[in-house]
Amino acid sequence: MKVLVWLVVLGALGGIVYLLWKWRERWVEHTRASEERLAMFIAEAKPAAPTAAVAAADTALPQQKLLFEAALKAGEAGEPALSIQLYARLLERYPQSAFGGQAQAAIEQQKRKLANP
């Protein structure tokens, strides 16, 4: 009879130890998942910082447009020399400008106007 009581007590203790072990595994997994969710939330909430090149290009675009429009208006007003100077200034200051191809074509056109008065 004593052996049976000891087996029941050991079985109960083994069951309790097993339940605590499983509870701890679930708790560790829950904590790990919670940390991953927090890291993803912070990564999504954090705004991406623009690079310096993108920020510089964004601030220079209005200036490029103003130079291009001024050169265009000078060419339309019959001032090809001034127009060429403004296009050249645009290409000198902003060699990788979005207006570069248009400026080169406009310079060639204005040079033809100067050659044929």
| pTM of structure | 0.51
Q: Are 85 and 91 in contact (CB under 8 A)?
A: no
pLDDT digits (tens, 9 = 90+) for 61-83: 888 888 888 988 988 888 888 88
pLDDT for 115:
80
Whether residues 42 and 59 share a domain: the answer is no
Which range marks the domain in which residue 74 is found? 52-115
Long-range contacts of 11-18 (CB under 8 A, 24+ apart): none
54, 112, 33: which is closest to 80 by C-alpha?
A: 112
Q: Is the pLDDT of residue 52 over 80?
A: no
The residue-averaged pLDDT of 16-29 equals 97
Whether residues 97 and 65 share a domain: the answer is yes
Long-range contacts of 14-20 (CB under 8 A, 24+ apart): none
pLDDT digits (tens, 9 = 90+) for 99-113: 888 888 888 988 888
Residue 79 φ then ψ, to 5°: -115, 75
Q: Is the pLDDT of residue 49 over 70?
A: no
Whether residues 65 and 111 share a domain: the answer is yes
Whether residues 62 and 99 share a domain: the answer is yes
| CB burial string 61-76: b at 16+ within 10 A, e below | eeebeebbebbbebbe
**CA distance linking residue 47 with residue 69, whole number of Å:** 35
